[in-house]
Amino acid sequence: MSPSQSILAQLLAATNVLIVTHQDPDFDAIGSSLALYWALKKQGKAPTVWVPQVIAENYDCLPGIESRAIAFPSDTKFDLIVALDAARKERIAEWETLPNLPIINIDHHQDNPEYGDTNHVVRISSVGELLTELFSDWKWPLSTDIATCLYAAIAFDTSRFQYNSVTPDTHRRAASLLEHNINHTRLNESIFERKDHHYFSIIKSTCDNMIVDHDYGICYTKLTNLPDTMGSEIIDFIRQQEGMAVYAVFRTTESGDVKVSLRSKLNFDVAAFAAQFGGGGHKMAAGIRLTDISLDEAITRVITALKKEVK
């Protein structure tokens, strides 16, 4: 049986389905979770989306966001867990709390070790796009709510359809979502254009600390107080600098670690590069976490290694 049909059979056999996603969830994580929530409800199931973290106000554009469980719903006896957009089991928010049940792992990170009991890991723009394909495979009808959540997930993970993960099928699937009377203009505005004063002060620090190395084609910056949810926004901001091969954002975390976000524009494989520091991700987008190191030491180590690789 294909993973798609096996997942369908398990979902149809279950009643109480627990939907989980990665820590510091983004619009692909939450949008996909809520899309599956609405789709399962349509099938007569009792799904629960568990997001044990504070999420920003602009997520209120996603229908069903208020129905998520914040505390673990320990009074429900679940049949099945579906993990969405979580590259590793340890990336699932509060994964130690999960009951011992079969896990269906639906993801699009190329370094996903297939930790689930059933795995559907596909190289595709977003989990939102992957679910759009699965629902169509299963002949599950869409609704405005489902389509809104899926569209938000795809628009976010492709940064409004600009990444090279976007294929003709991505647009065909997004088009099928637009058939369901969704307000994509308002959705995009809510996802991308509700920045506050704090955002612009971070942009200012980003510019003040930015190094553009034309000899190596490396552009990077450092930040000390960047909220986790803004990681991708800052790297997307600096990648607008022309003529670079690799972009990096170095930042300290609350626990004192240093997180490095990497993006590639030419053919440089940042996932392979990140692996030498224990990091991972996609060819064009990857990350590293370094412990017991200062921000400036981390920059020296990573940039020195990067210079050896890019040339």
Q: Which residues bind Mn ion (CB under 5 A)?
A: 28, 85, 126, 157
| Min CB(87)–Mn ion separation in Å | 9
For the sheet containing 80-84, what is the strand order? 46-49, 16-21, 80-84, 103-107, 118-121
Judge whether 210 and 302 are in contact, CB under 8 Å: no
- Contact partners, residue 46, CB within 8 Å, separation at least 6: 15, 16, 17, 40, 76
Amino acid at the residue 164: N
If the CB atoms of residues 103 and 290 are measured against Mn ion, the closer one turns out to be: 103
| Min CB(108)–Mn ion separation in Å | 6
Q: State how far Cα 159 lies from the chain centre.
A: 11
| Min CB(162)–Mn ion separation in Å | 15
If the CB atoms of residues 50 and 78 are measured against Mn ion, the closer one turns out to be: 50
- Measured from each CB, the residue nearest to Mn ion is 28
| Min CB(22)–Mn ion separation in Å | 8
If the CB atoms of residues 87 and 298 are measured against Mn ion, the closer one turns out to be: 87
Q: 298: which DSSP letter?
A: H
Kindly state the tokens that stand for 306: 């990067």
H or E segment at 247? strand 246-252
| Min CB(89)–Mn ion separation in Å | 16
If the CB atoms of residues 285 and 306 are measured against Mn ion, the closer one turns out to be: 285
If the CB atoms of residues 28 and 145 are measured against Mn ion, the closer one turns out to be: 28
285-290/258-264 β-pairing: antiparallel
Judge whether 260 and 288 are in contact, CB under 8 Å: yes
If the CB atoms of residues 25 and 47 are measured against Mn ion, the closer one turns out to be: 25
258-264/46-49 β-pairing: unpaired
Kindly state the tokens that stand for 287: 């990350």
| Min CB(148)–Mn ion separation in Å | 17
Judge whether 58 and 190 are in contact, CB under 8 Å: yes
If the CB atoms of residues 58 and 159 are measured against Mn ion, the closer one turns out to be: 159
CA–CA distance, 143 with 135 (Å, rounded to integer)? 11
| Min CB(157)–Mn ion separation in Å | 5
Q: Which residues pair with 81 in a beta bridge?
A: 18, 103
CA–CA distance, 173 with 151 (Å, rounded to integer)? 9
If the CB atoms of residues 125 and 190 are measured against Mn ion, the closer one turns out to be: 125
| Min CB(215)–Mn ion separation in Å | 34
| Min CB(107)–Mn ion separation in Å | 8
Q: What's the length of the chain?
A: 311
If the CB atoms of residues 157 and 236 are measured against Mn ion, the closer one turns out to be: 157
Per-residue exposure over 13-46, b if at least 16 CB sit within 10 Å of its own CB, e if not: ebebbbbbbbbebbbbbbbbbbbbbbbbbeeebe
